[in-house]
Amino acid sequence: MSDQNPVFIPGPTNIPDRLRAAMHVQTRDHRAPDFVETFAPVLEDTKKVFDTRDGTVITFPASGTGGWEAAICNTLSPGDKVLVARYGMFSHRWIDLCQRHQLEVQIIECSWGSGAPADKFEAILTTDKAHDIKAVLVTHNETATGVKSDIAAVRSAMDAASHPAMLFVDCVSSLASMEFHMDAWGVDIAVSGSQKGFMLATGMAILGVSPKALAAMEDAKLSRTFFDFRDMMGANASGGFPYTPPLQLIYGMRESLKMLFEEGLENVYARHFRLAEGVRRAVDAWGLKLVADTPDLYSDTVSAIYVPEGFDSNALTDQAFNAYGVSFGIGLGEMNGKAFRIGHLGSLTDVMVLSGLATIEMAMADLEYPVELGSGVAAAQDYFRRHRAALVRSAA
C-alpha cells in the first residue's frame, strides 16, 4: 500500500490519475495525420507557460539534462566562453556539461544558500569589452538548496553592462509552478522538463528558444545530431518528429496543459506559494533553519532544511521511507548529510502537504530530534486555515 503515499521529493512529482490515464494509450502512428492535430497545439500552448510570444518551443525525448546539452550545442562553438555562477548541485552540473563540450567556463563561486549574483555578472560583463562571453547560464530554481534566483535582475545586469551575451536559464524545477516570464526577462533559452510542474513522467526535455538563440545556430560549431534544433523544427513544422517521439508523454502533455489552464496559471503559482509557506511555517516551528540565506531567495517548489548539529539528514530520510513509506529529498553535494528537502510542487494540496509534515515529524521523533511532535503540523494548519478564511472573506 505504500505506493499510494505521495512523494515529497523535488521531482519527479506525483502524477495525477487524470494524467496517468492520458498517458495510458495504445501505440499509435506518429506519422498519421491525426498526430499533427495532437502535437501542434501542445507546442503552441506550452508557449503560454513560458510566457513567450516570440519564442519557439522545442522538445526532445530526454530529461532536463538533455535540454541543457541541446541549448549549448545548437548555439555555441568549441572554445566559446560562458559565464556561470556555482551555488548548488545543478549549477555545478551545468558547468561540468559545458566543460565536457570544450567550452571555456568562467565560474563565479558562491556559497550554497545564495542565489545568482547579478552584481557580479554585471561587473564581469562590463569588463568584457571584446564580448568574448557568449552566454550567461543561470539556474532559476536550485533544488539542492531551495533557492530561487532573480532572473529579471540578471537580465537588468546584462543590459546595464550593454553586453550581447545570450541568457540561458534552467527552469526545470520552476516552470509551471512559479512565475516565469521568458520574453519580459529577455531569456534566450529556457530549459525545462516533463517531470516537475507538468506532473508527468520523466522523458521530455522542453525548451523555449528565442529568435536570437535561433540565429546563433548559423555560426555554432558544436556537434549535434539527436539534439539538432534544425532537424526538430523542420519536422515539427509539418507536425512530426525527426525520429520516434515519446508519444505517451505528448498525450500526457496535452492533458497537463489543460489542467494548468483550467486551474489558471496565476492560481497555480498562488497554490505553490501557499504550500511552500505552510512548509516554511512548519520549519520555523521545529526550530530548524532553511538552507536559503534570505526570504527573497525562498523557493516555492522545494525547501532544503538543515538538520541539527550531530544528526545525519540521510538517516532521517531513510527513517521516513523505511518506517512510513514516504520519500523526501536527500541532501545533495555540500548538503549531503546536513540537510533534507521537502518537495512541494506539482500535484499537491494543503492536506497532502500536512501528511508529509506529519510523516517527517514522526521520523524526527523516532530519531530523538529536539522537535516537539505536532508543532510543525499545527503551524502549517494554522496558516492554511487563516489563508482559506481570508479567501472566503475576500470573496464575500
Handedness of CA 139, 145, 147, 153 (dihedral sign): negative
DSSP state of 227: T
What pLDDT does 35 receive?
A: 84
Instruction: Write out pLDDT tens, residues 16-33.
Output: 999 999 999 888 888 888
Domains of the chain, each with CATH number or no CATH = 2-11+263-395 (3.90.1150.10), 17-261 (3.40.640.10)
What pLDDT does 390 receive?
A: 76
Question: Is the pLDDT assigned to residue 9 strictly greater than 50?
Answer: yes
What pLDDT does 32 receive?
A: 84
Question: Is the pLDDT assigned to residue 146 strictly greater than 80?
Answer: yes
Q: What is the rounded distance in angstroms from the CA atom of residue 28 to the CA atom of residue 361?
A: 47
Nearest to 160 by CA among 210, 207, 119, 196: 119
The band of 285, judged by pLDDT with boundaries at 50, 70 and 90, is very high
> Per the structure block, which three cell numbers stand in for 363?
521520523
| 5, 326 contact by CB (below 8 A) | yes
Q: Count, in order, helices (H) and strands (E) of the chain.
A: 13, 12
What separation in angstroms does the CA of 28 have from each of 40, 159, 250, 257, 347? 16, 47, 12, 21, 28
Q: What is the rounded distance in angstroms from the CA atom of residue 97 to the CA atom of residue 75?
A: 14
Please report, rounded to a whole number, the percentage of residues in the chain having pLDDT higher than 70: 98
Q: Using only C-alpha atoms, what is the Rg of the chain?
A: 21
Question: Is the pLDDT assigned to residue 394 strictly greater than 80?
Answer: no
Instruction: Write out pLDDT tens, residues 65-90.
Output: 999 999 999 999 999 999 999 999 99
For 8, phi then psi, to 5°, come to: -125, 45
What does DSSP say about strands 141-142 and 147-148: parallel, antiparallel, or unpaired?
A: antiparallel
Helix (H, G, I), strand (E, B) or coil at 148: strand
The band of 36, judged by pLDDT with boundaries at 50, 70 and 90, is confident
What pLDDT does 1 receive?
A: 47
| 341, 302 contact by CB (below 8 A) | yes
Q: What is the rounded distance in angstroms from the CA atom of residue 382 to the CA atom of residue 133?
A: 49
> Per the structure block, which three cell numbers stand in for 81?
566562453
Q: What is the rounded distance in angstroms from the CA atom of residue 306 to the CA atom of residue 313?
A: 8
Tell me how crowded residue 208 is: count the other CB atoms within 10 A of its CB.
28
What pLDDT does 392 receive?
A: 66
Instruction: Write out pLDDT tens, residues 311-352.
Output: 999 999 999 999 999 999 999 999 999 999 999 999 999 999
Cis peptide before 12 (omega within 30 of 0): yes
- pTM of the prediction? 0.96
What pLDDT does 2 receive?
A: 59
Q: What dihedral angle (degrees, nearest 10) is formed by the CA atoms of 351, 339, 293, 93?
A: -100
Nearest to 205 by CA among 258, 236, 249: 249
Q: Average per-residue pLDDT in the chain?
A: 96
What separation in angstroms does the CA of 1 have from each of 29, 324, 387? 36, 11, 32
Instruction: Write out pLDDT tens, residues 246-279.
Output: 999 999 999 999 999 999 999 999 999 999 999 9
Tell me how crowded residue 2 is: count the other CB atoms within 10 A of its CB.
9
Please report, rounded to a whole number, the percentage of residues in the chain having pLDDT higher than 90: 92
Q: What is the rounded distance in angstroms from the CA atom of residue 277 to the CA atom of residue 258?
A: 26
Decide which of 1 and 393 is more confident: 393
Helix (H, G, I), strand (E, B) or coil at 290: strand
> Per the structure block, which three cell numbers stand in for 222?
558544436
Instruction: Write out pLDDT tens, residues 178-209.
Output: 999 999 999 999 999 999 999 999 999 999 99
For 391, phi then psi, to 5°, come to: -65, -40
Q: What is the rounded distance in angstroms from the CA atom of residue 311 to the CA atom of residue 263?
A: 41
Instruction: Write out pLDDT tens, residues 81-140.
Output: 999 999 999 999 999 999 999 999 999 999 999 999 999 999 999 999 999 999 999 999
